[in-house]
Structure 1
Amino acid sequence: MQFHVDMKSSDDLTIGELAGRFGLATHVLRHWESEGLITPRRLPNGRRRYDFPDVVQVAMILRGKEAGLSLEDIRETVQAPDGAARRKVLRRHRDDLQQRIDRLQSAKSMIDHALDCKAPDVWECGVFRARIMALVPPA
């Protein structure tokens, strides 16, 4: 997927402008800064200023959150010392994500069966009950 970013609109943004661009509250960016995820430059008066790399970083943080990563997971990825270390972290995150996807697909399959089941009530369906029982941990 390609996207075009107007560099002029990405240079020297205030915290309000950057937050507004992504539909975020400014306190979210302050929190991410305190967590070490973004590092805006500071003007002599202490005000934050964001440029294009910060815009990209915010987009990456949001994508990571959409993928179910915690801020700690994202920080670990961002702060990895080099490409090899970053790939190792990303492989682990990918594997965790795949496990979540597998669990969600299994849950969706159960719901699909319940919706298509010919039994008068899904609770009476032997297939559905067997799938539920497979989820019960042994005593």
Structure 2
Amino acid sequence: MSKNRRLAIRSGLTIGDLAARTGLAVSAIRYYESEGLVHPWRNAGGQRRFERADIRRLSFVMVAQRFGFSIARIREVMQALPDQRTPTAADWRKISTGFRADLDQQIAALEQMRDKLDGCIGCGCLSMKACALYNDGDVAQKNGAGPRYLLGDTPPDGDAK
């Protein structure tokens, strides 16, 4: 083991080391710290030091964001990870199981939306009786904002695709 490697293990990783290992900008790491996703400690000189496990934590954050998860959701699931030790495979499996359910719901919603849009894209007819975008008198607003019938709500007459 090289002297530099022994020193990094004993004294923690600098923010620059962490940036180099994760590919993140130093400013992004600081942001993730401010969001409570990593918890560096300070050495005697007041410099941030990170655990080696933070490489994996930040890698997880990057992947989760690519899947569309919000920082708030990522923070919520990461709270289940231990702070005092490196997360084990079982710790990560527990998190991935919850994310899998979320991803399955997102995939189902996207497939449903794709299938409903097939009848609309390029159609041009805008049949008011069968159009999933038509919302006569804004009656769908009672269920929330957005294209309610495309999001899965059924119109009062049940005719939208």
Q: Give the TM-score, by structure 1 length.
A: 0.61
For 1:95, give the aligned amino acid.
A
Please give the alpha-carbon distance, in whole angstroms, between the structure 2 residues aligned to 1:113 and 1:15: 51
Instruction: Find the counterpart in structure 2 of residue 4 from structure 1.
Output: none
RMSD: 3.5
Give unmatched runs, 5+ long, in structure 1: 1-7, 116-120
Moved over 6 A (4+): 81-84
Q: Secondary structure at the match of 1:123?
A: coil
Instruction: Using the TM superposition, give the Cα deviation of residue 38 of structure 1 relative to its aligned residue in structure 2, in angstroms.
Output: 0.7
Gaps of 5+ in 2: 83-89, 135-148, 157-161
Deviations 1:100-132 (A, max 9, x none): 2112223334566678xxxxx522498xx6565
Name the structure where helix makes up a greater proportion of residues. Answer: 1
For 2:23, the equivalent position in structure 1 comes to 23
Q: 1:138 to 1:107 in 2, by over 3 A?
A: closer
Q: How big is the shift at 1:30?
A: 1.0
The residue identity in structure 2 corresponding to 1:100 is Q
Quick one: distance in 2 between partners of 1:137 and 1:51?
51
Q: Is the 8 A contact 1:13 1:50 kept in 2?
A: yes
Larger Rg over CA atoms: 2
Identity rate, percent: 32
Tell me how far apart the structure 1 counterparts of residues 15 and 46 of structure 2 sit (CA, whole Å). Answer: 12
Distance in 2 (CA, whole Å) between partners of 1:57 and 1:45 is 25
Q: Which amino acid aligns with 1:138?
A: P
